Amino acid sequence: MSLTLKIQMVRLNQQKSMKFAPTMSVSEVIGQIKEKTNEGGDDHGLFQPGLEGKRPSRWLRLDRTLQYYDLKMNDLLEYKKKHRPLKVKLMDDTVKTVLVDDSLSVGEIVELIGKKMQIKNFEEFSLQRDTSAAAPTGKESKDTVPTSELWLTSTQTLHEQGVADEDMVVLKKKFFVEDDKVSRDDPVQLHLVYVQSRDAIVSGSHPCQLDESLQFAALQCQVQLGNYNAAVHKPGFLKLKEYVPPPIVNKYKGPSLEKDLYNEHKKLVGMSEVNAKYRYVQLCRSLKTYGITFFHTKERVKGQKKPVAKMLGITRDAIIRLDFESKEVEHEYPLTHLKRWAASPASFTLDFGDYEDDYVSVITTEGEAISQLLAGYIDILLKKRKDTGVVLDENDNDVATVETVGRVRGQAGTAISTSSVAGYDSSQGRVGDLGFGGQPMARKGDRPKNDVTVTDIGSAQTAVANILNEMENPGLPVPGSMSSLTPQQWRQQLLTNANGVASAAGKLVGAVSGPGQLDRNALNNCAKEVALSVDQMAAAARGASLAEGEDPDGEMPLFDGAKQVADAVAKLLKASKDASLNPSDPQAKEALRTAQEALKNAGTYLAGACNGLLADSGTHKLLLESAKLIAAATNGLCNMAEQSAANIQDPGKRQQVQTAAKSANQAGLHNLTVTEVLAPAVLDPSCKRQIVESAKAVQSANAFLLASAKSAGMDPNAMDRMQEMARAVADAIGQLLGGTEMAEPRGGTDPEFAEAAKAISNAAATLISAQGNPALIQSAAGTVKTCEPSLIAGAKRAAGKADDDAVKQRILQMAKQVAEAVKGLTDVAGNAAANPSDQAAFQRLQDSARKLAALTSQLVGDAGKQAAMQQLRSNSKFAAAAATGLVAAARNAATAINDQTEQANLLNAAKGAAEAVNALMASLAHAQRHPDDPAAQQALMDAARKMAPGAYKLVAQAKSVAPSVVDPGKKQDMLLASNAAADAIKDLLNSATGASSAVGEQEFDEASEQFQAVMADLDAAQMFAQNGQMEALPGQTKDGAMDLLNTAVRGMGNAAKALVGAAKTNPDQLGPGAKDVASSVGQVVTAAKALAGSTNNRTTQKAILGGARELANASEAMVSCARSIASNPRDPALAHALTNAAKAVADALAKLIAQSKGADPGAKEAEEALQALQRDAMRINTVPVNLGGDFNGNSERLLQSTKAINAAIAQLLHAARNNPNGLGSAAKTTAATIPELVDAANAAAGSCPVKNVQGQIVNSTKALVGEVGKLIRTSQVASARQGDPDAESSLAASAKAVGNAVKGLVDSVQSGTPGQKEINDALAQAQAALVRLQTGELANMPPDVLDALSQAAKSMAENTAGVLTSRDNPEKLAAAAKKVANSLDRVVDNSKAAAAMASGQSSEGLEPLAKK
């Protein structure tokens, strides 16, 4: 079979179609192209352009065949020159252009560059991508050397690593082996090492002390500036950040640092540039961190749930483990102890042989980088020893151990690998085909391999059993370097080997069951081929599993699929052996057929896994439970048929029914077996077809059973029951078939990305409303900084999955903007936290937070909604599966219940649950078919909620009748199924709630768009006002505009209240509430523009529009908080942020109303009063300090200050209601009372003898100052909206809040004096008693009023005497005062009762007496 390829002749700009044999080598193909086109020469090669996100560009190697590269019909190859100019940037930013062979590996290119630049130790250098213009992906620790610098893999070509023709690379020193030999005689290498060392010192990668930093800086000055010149080198001349590490610059600020630097520089006068560089390198080499490459890792520590952060350092001599925080060395492992290592995408494992008790394993995403670094060091060390002609002793364990780690050079076929099948030439088998080196590495405690020489079918069984034992612990398969094969190539290799297993197995079955006499030699040869093919497949499975990043502790579809095939082969070998020994045994033949079918199913599943067609876990579970239900229901039907068949008189017809029942039962079990194996790969058409066919076979078998029973004349009642049971089977089959249509690809969501976006959005909302709260600012900013790397990484993953290049670039550009916004926010957050009273700093923080929130929302798009709906669909499948499992368990348990009523109740509940599941499945199918239809998604949410009651009813019924189930096994199965169903339904309801919240995101997006439109409108209006071009609307008067503004402000206030209320009681309505707020803001801005246009005073215009903008900003912040609460309604921090945001909106409304009054001086004075209040609030001592004086005197001073506040508040309320022009003066008078209040409160709190009362005084004072500020704002609104009932109501409520705050402060002060509070309460009680004398109300009349009155008067006299005798004891005095007040209560009540009894409800006669 020929392969047609499109050959692009690059020089001629022509394309030709040519046919080649797939087995032709690339060298032969090039020769054929030259012969047919007479084009090209020895420097030409074949180049395959890459496929975005699937495969990088690559040069085809001359010694490989076309078949190796898996080329398809009409694939495009470019025929062109292999040489290209490569731009290489050095560490001093100079750029050199080198002509290189593009098909060479990076290591070979580095060697070429090193020779051209005359670098002696070129093997210690490598290439990096030039990322100077790339988007930031996170921040490296300032204390460590960065390790994620994307070194290019030395064994791959540039194009294989995505380095395009126009890209620039950076030449840097990667390995530090012979730095002690860097001398002045090698100026090129000395310069390169100097520049790299200088950058590491100045950036702070190598921590050093002050004196060391000054020495480095002085040497750098000598290199760059020459000798010290006193006339030029003065403080201010140098940019210290370019010479001294940041920690030193930040710690030793000022001109003294530069002076010290010049003092060191003076000492170097006369030193040449080369000598200065040499000394710099030597000094740098003396640092402890020089030559160490650090990697951030985590380790699991016993007793701790979360992994602990560690640092792993690699040097030429050792591997070092350090504490992440203190940087202290915890353990040092000599490199000579290292036996082997293994890297995976999520971890890195080291094996030190007998030197350590166990493997050293760390969690890291940089395992491949660590592996390459280790391999590079060992290669260099081995080369150095070889070059120096060192002769090794047999007992030289040191070097021998290292050599076992060294990667095998040359072609892949020379790799070392241990096989379970002895006598097998690895160069002709699996290692040569797979293309990776190194020894498979298992975990500690694994059974060692037992080599088996395969000679017959028995030894083949043993070999396959050994392979299965090894596959029980997948371990970490490939130590050292990773293979150059891509994950896709690995999957293809595994599939090829699996097909080889199937082919060998087919030959084996043919040898056993073929016509003619059994050929033992042929059978044994086939068995040997089967064993060898399984061995190849197992090795390919290890390589594919590692390349794919499968988790040994989680799902491993590739490796587990191969293991299923191997297990099926083991069963096939056994069945083949049995059949060969008993060729006429029907049971042996049936066992062979069953084993062959199992192998076919396992192979089909593995093919689906290799092709990336694995279904989501929800579908997998649903199909399994549906198949189990089919099998159970079919079994019940068959049992019923066999029982009823016993009453059929005709033996032939009875036998026919029994045979049909047996066939139906086998069909149900076969369907279950097929589904168990193929359900995970149901997306593969072949797998799906087999599941569907096996289910339809069950349907056909059941139909035949019913027909047989009817034709046999079965009892009508029995037929009715069988038909009902058959309908249950049909329903289960329908559910199974429906489930096959609902399968979705596994791993479609990115929870890490979604969680990071959610956390950043919530933190941004918190920051917007965190004024004056440094701790909250720091916490939220820290959250942003922590989550940013996950968000950016998730964005890159999303970009990599995008098929549209424009979409990919847009995502990457947005990610870059988000990273920049995070950096900007982090900078301003620190300033705002350090200066909580700086309004300008907080405004910058708010702007940064809003920008970050908007960018994050744009980056995520509707990912949150998609993730929520994906979760709902998945949980719907899990709930349907769990409920189906419970239905099956309940029906099975019902057969073991003797009570007919309980049995019927359980079966009815099971029927209701099954109907609920069918309804949910129908809605789910519709939602999946119409993913963009909101109505379909809403219907799924409703169906999920409706499904729950029916399923919960079955759960309750199952638990209720469980004691009546006489079969312990069936009871246990039903209880376990009921618990699983309850959990699944709970998850389903939670995901339905989450999806409902996510759907509300659309309203938030629309609100955001409205805010953007409002801001644009305000920008234009403010520009017109600035230029004096603001014009009144036709027919618009100032009074009319003012009325319009008042109406809009009231609507805005109501919308804000509704939004806050929704957050507390109904978070599902936050989306519509956000739209209402945005709409109301638009109306306020429109009214504000109209009012601004009605006046010619430019200052007033600017003030009104500025107030409108402040309101719009505050409202947008409130909506941002609401958006975060919608996705996390139980977060108290977000609730607090929303409360603060609502307060800011109220303040902005009040300010806008005040500014709308134009040139009224009261507005300015009120603002000044509020600013004074803020300053005074900052003076309240949070931690009380004794300022002198006794508590009694200080508390009396504080109580007097509250009286002054009460008087000022009365004036403020009068001005707000009756004299708006005097409001400003009244506000300033009110604010003027606060400084004395704060001073008195600080003194009282500091001198209070009771510690908890100190805190009460401080908190009460803060609360009072805050309420006074709110009252001034509310007074502004009320004065501007005279006669407005809402404004008056708000004013009265605010005044009451101030009164309560005053009372709270007074109570706090009095609680500091023993008995004082009780005495005040007694006085209040006495005053209340006197008030009651003025009313006609009567207390309950005692039986003997006069006697009660006499007793009360006597008690009062006695208690009054107690007051007089307790004057010197506050506590006793308080108790006596309380008794007097109680006695007075009884005197008043009894006096009124006696008077009413004596004079017909008239109490006037005794009132004078009671008063006395």
Given pLDDT bands bounded at 50, 70 and 90, which one contains residue 482? Answer: very low
Contact in structure between 647 and 674 (CB atoms under 8 Å): no
Euclidean distance between CA atoms 1111 and 1107, whole angstroms = 6
Q: Measuring CA to CA, how many Å separate 1082 from each of 755, 1009, 1075, 1103, 1134? A: 32, 11, 11, 18, 25
Helix (H) or strand (E) holding 126: strand 125-129
1186 Cα distance to chain centroid: 49
Euclidean distance between CA atoms 626 and 632, whole angstroms = 10
Contact in structure between 193 and 179 (CB atoms under 8 Å): yes
Pairing of the two strands 347-351 and 360-363: antiparallel
CB neighbours (10 Å) of residue 691?
26
Quick: pLDDT tens for 1292-1310. Answer: 888 999 999 998 888 888 7
Quick: pLDDT tens for 335-382. Answer: 888 888 888 778 888 888 878 877 888 888 888 888 888 888 888 887
Q: Measuring CA to CA, how many Å separate 97 from each of 43, 637, 1239, 1257? A: 19, 81, 74, 75
Of the candidates 1149, 1170, 1295, the residue with the CA atom closest to the CA atom of residue 1234? 1170
Structure tokens at 816: 């870059």
Instruction: Give the residue carrying structure tokens 């100190």.
Output: 1254
Q: How confident is the model at residue 401, as a pLDDT?
A: 31
Helix (H) or strand (E) holding 140: none
Structure tokens at 882: 């769990």
According to DSSP, residue 963 is labeled: G
Given pLDDT bands bounded at 50, 70 and 90, which one contains residue 1235? Answer: very high
CB neighbours (10 Å) of residue 1382?
18
The average pLDDT across 574-589 equals 88
Structure tokens at 191: 């310069």
Q: Which of 22-31, 1317-1326, 1374-1383 has the highest mean pLDDT?
A: 22-31
Q: How confident is the model at residue 476, as a pLDDT?
A: 42
Of the candidates 1331, 1315, 1335, the residue with the CA atom closest to the CA atom of residue 1385? 1331
Q: Which of 424-438, 629-643, 1318-1332, 1344-1358 has the highest mean pLDDT?
A: 629-643
Q: Is the per-residue pLDDT at 990 higher than 50?
A: yes
Quick: pLDDT tens for 27-77. Answer: 989 999 998 888 888 889 999 998 877 778 899 988 888 887 878 888 999
Quick: pLDDT tens for 253-309. Answer: 777 888 889 989 988 888 889 889 989 998 888 887 788 888 889 988 777 778 889
The rounded mean pLDDT for the chain is: 80
Given pLDDT bands bounded at 50, 70 and 90, which one contains residue 452? Answer: low
291 Cα distance to chain centroid: 35
Contact in structure between 249 and 227 (CB atoms under 8 Å): no
The Cβ-side half-sphere exposure at 708, using a 13 Å CA radius, reads: 26
Q: How confident is the model at residue 1234, as a pLDDT?
A: 92
Quick: pLDDT tens for 713-742. Answer: 888 888 998 998 998 899 889 889 988 888
The average pLDDT across 853-871 equals 67
Q: How confident is the model at residue 139, as a pLDDT?
A: 40
Helix, strand, or coil here: 599? helix
Q: How confident is the model at residue 485, as a pLDDT?
A: 66
Q: How confident is the model at residue 394, as a pLDDT?
A: 36
Q: Is the per-residue pLDDT at 196 higher than 70?
A: yes
pTM for the full predicted model: 0.43
Greatest pairwise CA separation for the chain in angstroms: 138
Which of 310-319, 327-336, 861-870, 1359-1368 bottoms out in mean pLDDT, i.e. has the lowest?
A: 861-870
Q: How confident is the model at residue 388, as a pLDDT?
A: 47
Q: How confident is the model at residue 1334, as a pLDDT?
A: 63
According to DSSP, residue 476 is labeled: B
The average pLDDT across 548-556 equals 67
Q: Is the per-residue pLDDT at 428 higher than 50?
A: no
Quick: pLDDT tens for 1146-1199. Answer: 888 877 877 776 545 467 788 888 888 888 888 888 888 888 888 888 888 888
> Which long-range contacts does 892-895 make (Cβ < 8 Å, 24+ apart)?
892/632, 892/970, 892/973, 892/974, 893/958, 893/961, 893/962, 893/965, 893/967, 893/970, 893/971, 893/973, 893/974, 895/636, 895/970
Q: How confident is the model at residue 660, as a pLDDT?
A: 93
Given pLDDT bands bounded at 50, 70 and 90, which one contains residue 1382? Answer: confident
Q: Is the per-residue pLDDT at 785 higher than 60?
A: yes
Phi–psi pair at 353, nearest 5 degrees: 60, -135
Quick: pLDDT tens for 887-915. Answer: 988 988 998 999 999 999 999 999 999 89
Q: How confident is the model at residue 637, as a pLDDT?
A: 92
The average pLDDT across 760-767 equals 83
- Answer positive or negative: Cα dihedral of 284, 288, 292, 293: negative
The average pLDDT across 1254-1268 equals 90
Q: Is the per-residue pLDDT at 436 higher than 50?
A: no
Given pLDDT bands bounded at 50, 70 and 90, which one contains residue 604? Answer: confident
Contact in structure between 692 and 737 (CB atoms under 8 Å): yes
Euclidean distance between CA atoms 924 and 872, whole angstroms = 9
Q: How confident is the model at residue 705, as a pLDDT?
A: 92
The Cβ-side half-sphere exposure at 655, using a 13 Å CA radius, reads: 3
Euclidean distance between CA atoms 628 and 77, whole angstroms = 51
Q: Measuring CA to CA, how many Å separate 768 from each of 763, 1075, 1138? A: 9, 19, 10
Euclidean distance between CA atoms 286 and 289, whole angstroms = 9
Euclidean distance between CA atoms 1014 and 1110, whole angstroms = 12
Of the candidates 8, 61, 63, 50, the residue with the CA atom closest to the CA atom of residue 33? 8
Which of 145-154, 586-595, 1010-1019, 1084-1093 bottoms out in mean pLDDT, i.e. has the lowest?
A: 145-154
Q: How confident is the model at residue 1402, as a pLDDT?
A: 44
Contact in structure between 47 and 58 (CB atoms under 8 Å): yes
Q: How confident is the model at residue 217, as a pLDDT?
A: 93
Euclidean distance between CA atoms 1342 and 970, whole angstroms = 71
Q: How confident is the model at residue 696, as a pLDDT?
A: 92
Q: How confident is the model at residue 30, as a pLDDT?
A: 92
Q: Is the per-residue pLDDT at 426 higher than 70?
A: no
The average pLDDT across 206-213 equals 86
Q: How confident is the model at residue 860, as a pLDDT?
A: 66
Q: What contacts 192, CB < 8 A, 6 or more positions away?
A: 90, 91, 119, 125, 171, 173
Q: How confident is the model at residue 936, as a pLDDT?
A: 83
The average pLDDT across 678-694 equals 85
The average pLDDT across 674-685 equals 83
Given pLDDT bands bounded at 50, 70 and 90, which one contains residue 1336? Answer: low
CA-only gyration radius of the chain, Å: 43
CA dihedral 1286, 1287, 1291, 1292 (to 10 degrees): -30
* Helix segments in 1219-1250, DSSP class H: 1223-1232, 1234-1247
Q: What contacts 429, CB < 8 A, 6 or more positions away?
A: 419, 532, 535, 536
Write down how long the chain is: 1412
Q: What is the 3-state secondary structure (H, E, C) of 1271-1286?
A: HHHHHHHHHHCCCCHH
Helix (H) or strand (E) holding 994: helix 968-999
The average pLDDT across 108-124 equals 87
Q: How confident is the model at residue 1335, as a pLDDT?
A: 62
Q: Is the per-residue pLDDT at 416 higher than 60?
A: no
According to DSSP, residue 359 is labeled: -
Structure tokens at 1401: 């409800």
Q: Is the per-residue pLDDT at 127 higher than 90?
A: yes
The average pLDDT across 1248-1269 equals 88
Q: Which of 133-142, 407-416, 482-491, 1057-1066 has the highest mean pLDDT?
A: 1057-1066
Q: How confident is the model at residue 543, as a pLDDT?
A: 82
